[in-house]
Amino acid sequence: MATKTRASATKKATAPAKMKAKKPKAASGSQRSEAIARWARSIEAAGADRGWSRAETATYLGISIGYFNVLLTGGGENQKALGRPLIEGSAKLLGTSVLNICLQAGMLTLSDLYYETDHVLTLEAAYKRMAADPELCSHLPSPDEWAGKVPLSTRSKYGITLLFELASRNLMLDKAEIFAPED
């Protein structure tokens, strides 16, 4: 039976990767407990640097020594949230931001700090809006080029370069100069 499990695990590992990016999973209970314990140990160290005992550090943070000891062990599996006064007090003690404390304690991940959007839909809406502009539409790729069904034509590449020139105010393409006849 173990051989079958290993074989199926190997088969899964060699399967082609899916094209869609996976969103990072939230920290598991044990990862969160480890993060809380690391954060609490950094608080304990900052208190010790000031010459404080655990009890004095807990008093500074406005928590009991018992609760501080629970945090030092990872807060247990039930530790879902830390109070705002505790977070603010520890940020002040550690000389950092509340946001950084939330990251350290595993309450937030870096992926919580950015917004994901469906760029395909956004770009389609933008293309329709640009194509409706009579001055701009002649410089745009064709709908098939935009959708990626056909490669960009030279005309489209030229148009995109001209749009970039306009936006950046940089000359990128040589152009023929027009001379007015002298009188």
HEC states along 100-138?
HHHHHCCCCCHHHHCCCCCHHHHHHHHHHHHHCCCCCHH
| This prediction's pTM | 0.49
pLDDT digits (tens, 9 = 90+) for 125-144: 888 888 898 887 887 888 88
Enclosing H/E stretch for 47: helix 29-49
The percentage of the chain sitting over the pLDDT mark of 90, rounded to a whole number, equals 23
pLDDT digits (tens, 9 = 90+) for 167-180: 888 887 777 676 66
Domains of the chain (ranges, CATH numbers): 29-113 (1.10.260.40), 119-168 (no CATH)
